[in-house]
Amino acid sequence: MHPLLTRRSYLGAYLAVWVPLACLLVFLIKVSGGIGILEATVVVVPMAVLFAAACLSAWYTCRATPLRSSGITRVFGTHLVAAFILSFLWAQIGRLFAHALSTSPSFLGLGARYDAHFAILIVSGVLLYLVNVGFFYVLIALEASRAAEARVLETSVLARDAELKALKAQVNPHFLFNSLNSISALTSSDPAKAREMCILLAEFLRMTLGLGEKASIPLSEELSLVHRFLAIEKVRFGSRLQMTEEVSEECKTMLIPPLLLQPLVENAVIHGIANLPEGGSVRLAAACQSGRLSIVVENTFDAEATPGHRNGMGLANVRQRLEARYPKLASMRVAPNATLFQVNLSLPAEPREEQS
Amino acid sequence: MSTASEKKIDALIVDDEELARQVLRELLQTHPEIQIVAECVNGFEAVKAVVAHKPALMFLDVQMPKLSGFDVLELIEEDVAVIFVTAYDQYAMKAFEVHAVDYLLKPIGRERFEAALERAKKRIGEKMPPVQELVTAARPPQQYMERLVVRDGTRVTLIPAAKLDYVEAQDDYVALATQGAKHLKQQTIASVEAGLDPARFVRIHRSYIVNFERVVRIEPYGKDSRLAILADGTRLPVSRTGYARLKALLDDRV
């Protein structure tokens, strides 16, 4: 859509600018002699209106030849050719108009006198057109910078949003309440175990809060957070929760965004194990191969017991964070079947830099 | 069962976590008038225990595998005073809508527990409205049942909505037909209808709701009435308004 045609006020302003231009044109014709001021006005005013409309088309040629990406010859060539063609046509139409007018007794011989100004009209037409071209390039630049600003704002809002959600997802309040309930049960029956659990919970919370501030951490650190989480849940679920882990030493030094796996493991427990009366197991595996780090979080689950609940906040959050961190370089695949729920992550392997 | 001097209150503890059950057990130790008749680790056991022991009071966890606390309430016909015990506060509204005595949040404090127990004692023996209807009514609007729970004696069956063929009204009961079997449930057909997704289930008759996907054809049957033939050959009567509803759903789908 042409920007000047989007609002009536824009078009009004554009046409208002053409009023002094038309006056200038009348003056030019008058001083170059042979044509009276009245005759000049009668001929030039409708022509100015016509040209004002015709010059709007310069917007499209400007858009088609962006300053940044087109060569200088192409920019000048395009606009000069367009200016000449349009001005010539315009002067020709004016000429037909002047000749038509000269049939009336009050404008006798106007046609012939107009012809004497033909060259001046073409030159001024070309100049006016080029002024328009310049104006439209400024408009395009303004529009582009506004769009860029909006884009920057949008991405920063998105990033902030993802960060906030990540922070919120860090500690599930129900996890806390359930753990506190377990502790309160243990205080009388097994005080040593209660103390152990307090310490596990404190370590888990401290690590969660600390890790959130870092940009990336070695997989080993994330794993020790996950271990604490599972140790706490193990107190709650007892033998219902089983755990296996296959992570090579090499993988443990790879860097990942903090709290990437914890929500996945939490999901595995809450939506998987917690829904199985007989319990189940969570498997965590990581492998590095040809510059990629693949991580699998897998749990037994009952597809019928948890309809719709699985693709919740946690998974969406991990996906978003991966996309923000490794645009187009990371992937997350969720593959549930009847008894196993598997989440596969694949991201660029970033070895930890040796500290000097 | 009861001596003249004191009558004990039979109570049931239902929670899938051993430690959570232990807390309740301990809190009840100072109350000799309460007798724990059974502890259940899931909803299935809870349903059995209610039938077997007919307790007056039940401490019921909400979040349990497969059968939630609310599912358990839907399945039992006995008059039990229920105290919900959960770490989740978002079910409180729903709990009171099903006339729970109280709603305790974990971890449970002694004072709060005593208050709940007092309330429960006052409530025991009072006649409650049938809870099945309340549970259905307490379901959030625009959220349809993904599965139905039925009980046959002490056996609990879960029927995913997609596997339900049709529902037939039978006096005070409804028969849920799924994969050749029929399960009876004490509920009105109207409340079943309210819980089912209207884009998948149609009330084709005063006494029938059909799973739209099971219908293979409609045949005329006498004046003003028709028969719906299901994939397994079952023939169900279709009333005139039922036929209009079927047609409306069909038009929506095309």
Here the tokens at position B35 are: 């007798």
Residue A166 has pLDDT above 70, yes or no: no
Name the stretches of chain B with pLDDT < 50: 1-5
Residues 6+ apart with CB under 8 A from A145: none
CATH superfamily of A171-348: Histidine kinase-like ATPase, C-terminal domain (3.30.565.10)
Q: For residue A166, what are the contacts with CB-CB under 8 A and spacing of at least 6?
A: A212, A259, A317, A321
Chosen for mutation from A175, A181, A236 (greatest number of chain B CBs closer than 10 Å) is A181
Between strands A255-256 and A217-218, the pairing is: antiparallel
pLDDT tens track for A27-42: 888 887 778 888 888 8
Q: Which pLDDT tens digit goes with each residue over A295-307?
A: 999 999 887 765 5
- Which residue(s) pair with A218 in the sheet? A255
B9-135: CATH number:
3.40.50.2300
Among all residues of chain A, which has the CA nearest to that of B44? A277
CATH of the structural domain B144-253, one choice from 2.40.10.10, 1.10.10.350, 3.30.450.30, 2.40.50.1020: 2.40.50.1020
What does the alpha-carbon distance between residue A287 and residue A305 come to, in Å, rounded to a whole number?
Answer: 31
Distance CA A340, CA B57 (A): 38
Q: Show me where the domains of chain B are located.
A: 9-135, 144-253
Test the B interface: residue of A172, A176, A178, A275 with most B CBs within 10 Å: A178
- Chain A nearest-CA residue for B108: A181
Q: How remote is the C-alpha of B166 from its chain's centroid? A: 18
What pLDDT is stored for residue A167 in this prediction? 58
> Any idea which residue has 């890790």 for tokens?
A211
pLDDT value, residue A14: 87
What angle (nearest 5°) sits at the alpha carbon of residue B163, between those of residues B157 and B166? 95
- A127-142 pLDDT, tens per residue? 989 998 998 899 889 9
Q: Are A276 and B65 a contacting pair at CB < 8 A?
A: yes
C-alpha distance from B139 to closest chain A C-alpha (Å): 16
Are the C-beta atoms of residues B64 and B42 closer than 8 Å to each other? yes
Whether a cis peptide bond, with omega within 30° of 0, leads into A105 is no
Tell me, yes or no, if the pTM score tops 0.80: no
**Rounded Cα distance, A196 and B252, in Å:** 60
Instruction: Reply yes or no on whether the pLDDT at A72 is more than 50.
Output: yes
- Residue range(s) occupied by CATH 3.30.565.10 in chain A: 171-348
Computed from CA positions of residues B94, B98, B99, B104, in that sequence, does the dihedral angle turn out positive or negative?
negative
